[in-house]
């Protein structure tokens, strides 16, 4: 038996079971509104797939565009429509969704206000685009707008297409020099009949002192408690920020992430009220490893006696063994209000210099050292502070650096990825570990480790599907451009168990981001959205299709699935990752 060593991975020439891996297929760069192709123009954010026509709708928030792509040939993605919205009339598109019934196909797009992000947004319903008639036509041309709340970040149809849910994030900011923090809420648009009706689910109940104190005691975060321009109280309900939505299979309720608040809300869709708000809890890093520094000259993962808020962004239902689960991408979300001197974080070393901590000697030394915790983003207003002495006694940072699976009935976390995501990144793509794609003049390895003190791997997109009898979860680390594949293990245990299958990064790393973009070899930089096209709807025989939408590279890419040992060597060997320690 011949044995090779690739770094720390043992490779053996022998037959081993097959893992699910991704196979690169098509790739398309999207133009800006002037038909130019440039790196980092924000021309791709969210997407929706028309399974009947095999068309993908992609909105670009920064370019204020809609692209419609033909995916009938996933190796040769074809653009059939690039539509420019009018910035003065339409506003910036934030999300696109599509719903198909036997009689109709409805396309919905949510828009930010043309006045400012703190003003009311709107939704417009459109006819489906067809290959023979690639035009965008509102369903109600004389009065197309449906007014919703401020910054309608995410929209989701119920499965019967009768209702459209809109998360009104209500992001804070300055308007004419005054601080404005609109109330967060969820608009439910009923599509029965010719005229849509709207019901708004609010969070005003959290302003009652008993409910406010209960939620704060459970760990739900309320960070902007005072209006910084007037000194008045900023209501808790205004600081609740609904982000991403998933709807139950029976359309009876929805779960909405409240990312900055480190919580998830359950919305009753029969009676239109907030049925519950679940705190997402804290992750203890004395049991798991993380890299917390961009000044350690290496990928250096250690255990520390600190905690982090999970702060999930995207959320999705899936079914496994006749039970419903929720999966969350625990991205993390430090708060930074534009145009205001407000952040809910500071570097640990800066706080240490101001004598803000009261911790044991070991942690104190780590917090004062840039190569350990000194560079870490630490929550510094209310979290972990002793109300008597005013010191931070429990150190909190942001994001779970992984993903979680919940029992949908109990909202008990059934499985959590621990430090696996960062460790697999370290193992297979060390040159872009905890990286980003912010500077077009850098080569990718120059941004390696830049996210370590912030949110690390920062998973921000999830999708589930099936391939060859295996139930899969696919997750994206948007900043580093990595795609992770996990399988739900078929065990006798009543608890969920997930098995790592593979991780993939498209693109090259030996030139600057800008030149890689020009050459078409930038890969999936700044992943924002994933779509899974199941086998029965797939344009590819024998495999479902994964669609990846990325904002920094301004691209849409496609992948199919295959089974082979991961990772493998060029000479046919297979590699077995070592056990983590």
Q: What is the pTM of this model?
A: 0.95
**Residue 81, pLDDT above cutoff 50:** yes
**Residue 277, pLDDT above cutoff 50:** yes
Is the Cβ–Cβ distance between 558 and 532 less than 8 Å? no
How confident is the model over 411-430, as pLDDT tens digits? 999 999 999 999 999 999 99
Taking the C-alpha atoms of residue 536 and residue 157, their distance in angstroms, rounded to an integer, is: 21
The angle subtended at Cα 441 by Cα 479 and Cα 429, nearest 5°, is: 40
Confidence (pLDDT) at 117: 96
How confident is the model over 480-490, as pLDDT tens digits? 999 999 999 87
Give CA separation, 157 vs 55, 168, 186, 334, in Å.
18, 15, 13, 29
Confidence (pLDDT) at 536: 97
Question: Mean pLDDT over residues 18-42, rounded?
Answer: 98
Q: What ranges do the domains of the chain cover?
A: 18-333+399-564
DSSP 218-246: HT------B-TTT--B--HHHH-----EE
Is the Cβ–Cβ distance between 237 and 202 less than 8 Å? yes
Q: What class is the 18-333+399-564 domain?
A: mainly beta
How confident is the model over 510-539, as pLDDT tens digits? 999 999 999 999 999 999 999 999 999 999
């Amino acid at each position: 038996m011949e044995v090779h060593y690739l770094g720390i991975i043992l490779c053996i020439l022998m037959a081993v079971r097959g893992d699910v891996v991704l196979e690169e297929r098509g790739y398309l760069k999207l133009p800006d509104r002037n038909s130019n192709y440039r790196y980092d123009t924000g021309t791709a954010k969210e997407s929706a797939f028309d399974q009947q026509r095999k068309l993908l709708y992609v909105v670009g928030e920064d370019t204020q565009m809609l692209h419609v792509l033909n995916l009938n040939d996933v190796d040769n993605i074809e653009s059939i429509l690039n539509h420019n919205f009018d910035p003065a009339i339409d506003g910036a598109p934030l999300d696109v969704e599509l719903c198909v019934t036997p009689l109709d196909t409805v396309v919905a797009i949510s828009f930010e206000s043309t006045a400012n992000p703190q003003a009311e947004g709107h939704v417009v319903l459109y006819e489906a685009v067809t290959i023979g008639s690639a035009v965008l036509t509102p369903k109600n041309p004389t009065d197309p707008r449906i007014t919703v709340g401020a910054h309608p970040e995410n929209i989701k149809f119920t499965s019967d297409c009768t209702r459209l849910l809109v998360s009104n994030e209500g992001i804070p900011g300055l308007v004419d020099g005054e601080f404005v923090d609109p109330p967060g809420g969820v608009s439910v648009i009923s599509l029965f009949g010719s005229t849509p009706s709207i019901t708004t689910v609010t969070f005003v109940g959290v302003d009652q002192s008993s409910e406010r104190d209960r939620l704060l005691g459970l760990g739900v975060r309320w960070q902007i408690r005072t209006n910084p321009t007037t000194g008045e109280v900023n209501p808790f309900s205004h600081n609740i920020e609904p982000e991403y939505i998933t709807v139950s299979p029976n359309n009876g309720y929805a779960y909405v992430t409240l990312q900055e608040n480190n919580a998830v809300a359950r919305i009753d869709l029969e009676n239109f009220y907030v049925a519950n708000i679940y705190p997402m809890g804290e992750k203890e890093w004395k049991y798991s490893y993380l890299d917390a520094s961009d000044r350690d000259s290496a990928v250096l993962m250690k255990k520390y006696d600190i905690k982090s808020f999970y702060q999930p962004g995207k959320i999705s239902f899936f079914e496994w063994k006749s039970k419903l689960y929720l999966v969350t991408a625990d991205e993390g979300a430090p708060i930074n209000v534009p145009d205001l001197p407000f952040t809910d974080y500071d570097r640990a070393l800066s706080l240490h210099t101001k004598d803000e901590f009261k911790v044991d000697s070991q942690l104190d030394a780590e917090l004062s050292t840039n190569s350990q915790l000194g560079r870490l983003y630490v929550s510094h207003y209310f979290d972990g502070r002793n109300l008597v002495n005013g010191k931070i006694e429990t150190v909190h940072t942001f994001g779970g650096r992984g993903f979680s699976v919940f029992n949908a009935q109990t909202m008990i976390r059934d499985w959590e990825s621990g430090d696996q995501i960062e460790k697999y990144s370290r193992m297979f793509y060390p040159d872009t570990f905890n990286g980003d794609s912010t500077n077009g003049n850098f080569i990718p390895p120059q941004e390696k480790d830049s996210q370590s003190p912030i949110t690390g791997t920062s998973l921000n997109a999830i999708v589930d599907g099936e391939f060859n009898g295996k139930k899969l979860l696919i997750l994206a680390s948007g900043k580093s451009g990595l795609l992770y594949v996990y399988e739900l293990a078929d065990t006798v245990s009543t608890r969920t168990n997930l098995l790592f299958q593979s991780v993939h990064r498209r693109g090259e790393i030996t030139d600057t981001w800008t030149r890689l973009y020009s050459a078409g070899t930038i890969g999936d930089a700044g992943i924002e959205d994933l779509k899974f096209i199941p086998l029965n709807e797939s344009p590819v025989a024998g495999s479902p299709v994964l669609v990846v939408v990325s904002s920094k590279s301004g691209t849409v890419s496609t992948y199919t699935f295959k089974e082979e040992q991961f990772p493998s060597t060029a000479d046919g060997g297979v590699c077995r990752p070592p056990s983590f320690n």
